[in-house]
A and B are shown apart, each in its own frame.
Chain A
Amino acid sequence: MTYYRTTMIAALLSATAISGAYAADPIKIGVVTPLSGTYAGIGQQVKWGLELATKEVNAAGGIMGRQVELTFEDEEANPSVAVQKADKLFQVGKVDFLTGTVNSGSTLAVGQVAERAGKLIATTVSFADSITGDKCSPNVYRVNARAGQQSAALAVWLSKERPKAQVFYLGPDYEMGRSTVAAFKSSAEKVGASSTGEIFAPLDSKDYTQYFGQLRAAKPQVLYTSVAGNDTVRLFTQLQEFGLLNNLTVVGASGTVTAQNIGAIGKAAEGFVTGVGYSAEIDTPENKKFVTAFRAANKADPDLYGADSYGMVYAYKAAVEKAKSTDTDKVRAAFADLKWSTPQGEKTLRAGDHQAVQTMYVVRVTGGKFKIVSQVKGEDAIGPDTCKRH
């Protein structure tokens, strides 16, 4: 009774073309992701990325000759629901691996379920440092870049382009919003920037204009913000309305402007700079092939969530092939310092904290596209391994 987004049909069709492939016992990957509610846009990208990768892997013969099967469940961006669905996928669906959680609360809670079920999970979206930091788990992997890496890349850019800048911070008033601002602030101050003030607005604020007086009075050159989704649309368009974007460089977290909201933000997003692990404009043959295939399948560009989810399937494939098994302990051993190639370059899954190390890109929104303006090497952007459970 589970919502089978089966790729078996497409896979079987192409498998008959490649005679010799037989439908052995499939490898099951469970996906618990928000398909409804506020984060449905992100869940959609995750779904698209996973489906594309699975289709490609299956067409090429699957993993060790076995076809990959995805099963989707809606977590409604609620950790209680995520835990319930994860339990269902592990116990009833008997999946070998699980992915898809978006908010860090869900990732942490589902990670605990995985530990108790003796299975592994990976997140491709959650960027809270704690997931591979103080709340790390031997059963949880992170294939995307975390907040620390994003800040580090952006800070490097800031020190080159706006040295000794006066920065004003505006973030949403909750854990993620505050810690993202704090992380960037410390990176920025290390490279010479100074802070002229900070404001934390409630989540889902509809009108940011009441803070513009303070913003104007602070006379910053740079505005750093960690708002996301609909909040970004409002903040940026209202800044533009009040003419505040004219002499201001706006930078922010990688989740602030994405494929989901850039259409609604329109021209107000022009010039926005962020540190992120992916851009559809990355100029490599691998990425171009990926973007073309993604566009053809979904009539939309991939963003970081779609690309990282796509890459995750290949990581799992590489690990299982190295371990020659889907057994949890063997795959865990295979994941240690695993290197695999993705549309955004080669990534390494650090053995200690299960965090992906990758080249970080600094992108600037130009003409509605995320153009790359500079890059930071993986080892420079990644922070120290603070996970204590090895």
Chain B
Amino acid sequence: MSGAVEYFQYVLAPQMLIGLVLGVAVILVALGLTIIFGLLDVINMSHGEFYALGAFIAVALGTIGLPFWLLLILVPLVMLPVGYIVERGLIQRVFHTGERHVTTLLLTFGLGLVLEDTFGLVFGPNPYKPDIPIAGGVEAFGIFLPSYRLFLIVIGGAIIAAVAFMVYRTRLGAMVRAAAYDRHMAASLGVPVQHVYAGAFAFGVALAGLAGVLLAPIYSVFPTMGRDFILIAFTVVIVGGMGSIAGVVVAGLLLTQVQAIVSLYISPVWSDPIVFGIMVAMLMVRPQGLFGRLGHG
């Protein structure tokens, strides 16, 4: 019996904890993606590049001396108008065509290309790494975790809770959910649908940017970093249910735990194929995901 406890304490628990940090990171990135998809029905293929944009802005502002804690607030604020303009100026133009899924996917795909190359143009090809704001680590029950990672778990949880609160418990959130469910009805009830759409998109990319700032000290910053999360973020969104916040949380935690534990026993190269396999299986068996769509679930 003590063998099992020891195994749990020294092998499984640390691995699960590491998976938890990864899970929080994935959820933060995927949260914006699912809101954009669930509300606007837009596949944002450039979501990874907005994540990168947040990180690069943090690097740029960091070099002129702004402290990390200020950046946590400043960067998402800066990203809001960027997202708003992208939605009104770009996405709205193709929004009303019949094949919205395809055209917005293509448009954001092109946007992603442009952004990625622009990062290389402005910042150069080599990586940057901001210093970790909280040094050292904590140890409990023989398990060690760096303090910054613990902070990430805590703040990640706080952000997720705040978003959920905003969406489900505020008037603003009610307007968003109404517009997702039936935009014409919502419009006729006085909901400013155009602004809600643009605002939601802006909020989604601001979340991605915030994730970029938070993860930059542990994952470093370079022009192609947007590609890190794209496959797993989309998988989490699909498995959880497009537009479902609860879905993203559950799917995000579940998938990263599976990845972390499985990597103990199987060669890591199978990690991506397994994740992909889960996505395919979900699409074949239950395409609406675990929790269904925003406003509909």
Contacts and interface: CB of A to CB of B under 8 A. Distances in A.
A208 B75 CA distance: 27
Given A36-B117, A241-B148, A233 B127 contact: yes
A266 B144 CA distance: 23
Given A173-B269, A234-B220, A237-B220, A243 B137 contact: yes
Contact of A41 (B126, B220, B260): B126
A242 B146 contact: yes
A263 B222 CA distance: 13
B129 A237 contact: yes
Interface stretch (A199-207, A311-319, A366-374): A199-207
A251 B142 CA distance: 28
A238 interface: yes
Contacts, number: 93
Given A40-B120, A210-B18, A233-B127, A199 B268 contact: yes
Interface in A245-273: 260-261, 263-266
Nearest to B131: A266
B276 interface: no
For chain B, which range describes its interface: under 10, 10 to 19, 20 to 34, or 35 or more residues?
A: 35 or more
A71 interface: no
Nearest to A174: B269
Interface string B6-28: 00000100110011011000000
B224 interface: yes
Contacts of A241: 132, 137, 146, 148-149, 218
B146 A200 contact: no
Looking at chain B's contact residues, the main secondary structure is helix
Interface in B45-88: none
Interface in A178-214: 199-202, 204-207, 209-214
A209 B18 contact: yes
B151 interface: no
Contact of A243 (B21, B125, B144): B144
Contacts of B263: 210-211
Contacts of B103: none
A171 B120 CA distance: 27
Contacts of B109: none
B220 A200 contact: no
Most chain B CB within a 10 A radius of its CB, from A205, A206, A234: A206
A241 B21 CA distance: 14
B126 to A, nearest CB: 5
A342 to B, nearest CB: 25
A380 B120 CA distance: 41
Contacts of B218: 207, 234, 237-238, 241
B137 A242 contact: yes
Interface in B187-239: 218-220, 222, 224-225, 227-228
Contacts of B224: 37-38
Contact of B128 (A209, A234, A243, A264): A264
Contact of A233 (B21, B129, B268): B129
A298 to B, nearest CB: 12
B269 A264 contact: no
A352 B272 CA distance: 43
A241 B145 CA distance: 9
Given A41-B125, A202-B269, 12 more contacts: A36-B120, A44-B125, A199-B268, A207-B18, A210-B263, A212-B18, A213-B11, A213-B264, A233-B127, A241-B146, A260-B126, A263-B128
23 contacts: A173-B268, A200-B267, A202-B268, A202-B269, A205-B268, A206-B219, A207-B218, A210-B260, A210-B263, A210-B268, A217-B11, A230-B225, A233-B127, A233-B129, A241-B148, A243-B137, A243-B144, A261-B127, A263-B126, A264-B126, A264-B128, A264-B220, A266-B131
Interface of B: 11, 14-15, 18-19, 21-22, 117, 120, 124-129, 131-132, 137, 144, 146, 148-149, 218-220, 222, 224-225, 227-228, 259-260, 263-264, 267-269, 271-272
Interface of A: 36-38, 40-41, 44, 173, 199-202, 204-207, 209-214, 217, 229-230, 233-234, 237-238, 241-243, 260-261, 263-266
